[in-house]
Amino acid sequence: MGEFMTETQQRPAGAGPSTETLERQGPIATETDAGPGPLDGPEAGVILERARASVDPELRAAIESLPPSLRRIALYHFGWQHPDGTPAAGNAGKAIRPALVLTAAAAVGGPRARAAAVRAAVAVELVHNFTLLHDDVMDRDTTRRHRPTAWTVFGDADAILAGDALQALALRLLAEDPHPASAAAAARLADCVVELCAGQQADTAMEKRDPGEVGLDEVLAMAEAKTGALLGCACALGALYASAAEEDVAALDAFGREAGLAFQLIDDVIGIWGDPSLTGKPAGADLAARKKSLPVVAALTSGGPAAAELAALYEVPYDKEDLQLTALAVERAGGRDWAQTQAAERMARAMQELARAVPDPEEAGGLLALAEFVTRRSN
């Protein structure tokens, strides 16, 4: 990361993508773009729908094994029940991470490997939702997937405990899986959870620090741990279940990490400028919490009057009347342009790693579609 960071920091914050990057990747979409990117259509959508259909039966079976009090919270969080326990046809999420597990397995080992990796895909989805339940409590987010978050309905303690239970279910699924890769997968997923927790801890600690104390290297490392690690782990688990060579497992892990960092960059952009009707979350929540998100840190470290203005705003408690002013200061200081440029650069690195593990473009097509989907998203 060090060499790439040095190269990136030579580019002024707010500078547009290089011609080479644009030719290679195309534009990174946000809610203000004219329309979805070319892979926001059927190809990625079919992959995600197929992944959801594959994992949901075993996912629900795992959740149904929980004690009733925890099961109720988990089923609500996944959108399958209302708060009173009655059935709901809700939104359980896009299934990006389980789709990466299954698609990586298929890319390296074919359809049989994909079928064998379903339990690993469910485990990754459980871990992801464990982090969401905890994140919502820590960030005090009140909406997710267009409905109240679990902690607002059931309380902090119950939401945290339900998240803990989901993590335990994930590791139990792998421990009980007779597949020869299950032990290595469980160890890798456990290591990933530790890295996720370290990334989240770093993120929350940054909120208490002076705006001028946080640098780009540090916040990028935090984002890789918090977001890139699980996407990388998902791809690596798929490769493990396909009996891939160690170097291919490592390359797919690196692919997922780079794509995950691109995902986080775009997610941070959406967190500031996104449309709540599309995202299901309030606009500007990260700014209100004075979070040191990637566009914000890029803006703070860019120098100039807009950076100074943003630093002054971040040094005082949040005032809702300043929200638009704060978002404008981030944009004027180059934070939005930097994040979109950096996302394109990270995607280019992801493609290089993918080509190492899966040199056949046709076999790599599903993973490429998913990677581009998450960086061309608007919600």
Q: Does the pLDDT of residue 247 top 50, yes or no? A: yes
Mean pLDDT score of the chain: 87
pLDDT at 317: 82
| Res 379: pLDDT | 55
Residue 194 CA to residue 167 CA, distance in Å, equals 12
Distance CA 73, CA 294 (A): 32
Judge whether residue 25 has pLDDT over 70. no
Identify which of 158, 171, 186, 169 has the alpha carbon closest to the alpha carbon of residue 66: 169
pLDDT at position 310:
93
Cα of first residue to Cα of last residue in the chain, in angstroms, is 28
Backbone angles phi, psi at 41, to 5 degrees: -100, -145
- Average pLDDT of the residues in 193-207: 93
Does pLDDT of 273 surpass 60?
A: yes
More confident residue, 259 or 322: 259
User: Taking the C-alpha atoms of 219, 220, 222 and 224 in order, what is their torsion angle to the nearest 10 degrees?
Assistant: 160
Answer with the residue of higher pLDDT: 273 or 357.
357
Contacts of 156 (CB under 8 A, 6+ apart): 137
Tokens 């379903």 correspond to what residue? Answer: 118
Output 128-132 pairs: Cβ under 8 A, ≥24 positions apart.
128/93, 128/97, 128/230, 129/74, 129/77, 129/78, 129/93, 129/163, 129/166, 130/163, 130/164, 130/166, 130/167, 130/170, 131/163, 131/196, 131/200, 131/230, 132/77, 132/163
Q: How confident is the model at residue 285 (pLDDT cuts 50, 70, 90)?
A: confident
C-alpha 228/C-alpha 319 separation (Å) is: 32
Distance of alpha carbon 281 from its chain centroid, rounded? 15
Region 189-194: mean pLDDT is: 98
pLDDT band at 280 (very low <50, low <70, confident <90, very high): low
Calculate the alpha carbon distances from 187 to 168, 226, 247 in Å: 13, 18, 18
Which stretches does DSSP call E strand in the chain? 143-144, 147-148
Residue 40 pLDDT > 60 = no
Output the pLDDT for position 246: 97
Mean pLDDT of 212-217: 89
What confidence tier does 281 reach under pLDDT thresholds 50, 70, 90? low
Return the CA Rg of the chain: 20
Q: Tell me how far apart the alpha carbons of residues 278 and 288 are, in angstroms, rounded to a whole number.
A: 19
**What 3 state SS string does 236-277 have?**
HHHHHHCCCCHHHHHHHHHHHHHHHHHHHHHHHHHHHHCCHH
- Reply yes or no on whether the pLDDT at 10 is more than 90: no
Structure confidence at residue 30 (pLDDT): 35
The residue-averaged pLDDT of 32-39 equals: 34
The Cα–Cα gap between 47 and 45 comes to 5
CA angle 352, 358, 363 (to 5 degrees): 120
**pTM for this prediction:** 0.84
Q: What is the mean pLDDT of residues 71-100?
A: 94
The percentage of residues in the chain with a pLDDT greater than 90, rounded to a whole number, is: 71
Of 210 and 151, which is predicted with more confidence?
151
pLDDT in tens, 89-127: 877 889 999 999 999 999 999 999 999 999 999 999 999
Task: Determine the pLDDT at residue 374.
Answer: 82
Domains of the chain in sequence order: 40-374 (1.10.600.10)
Higher model confidence: residue 91 or residue 167? 167
What are the tens digits of pLDDT across the range 325-334? 999 999 999 9
Q: What is the mean pLDDT of residues 173-181?
A: 97
pLDDT tens, position by position, 44-63: 999 999 999 999 999 999 99
What pLDDT does 378 receive? 57
345-361 mean pLDDT: 96
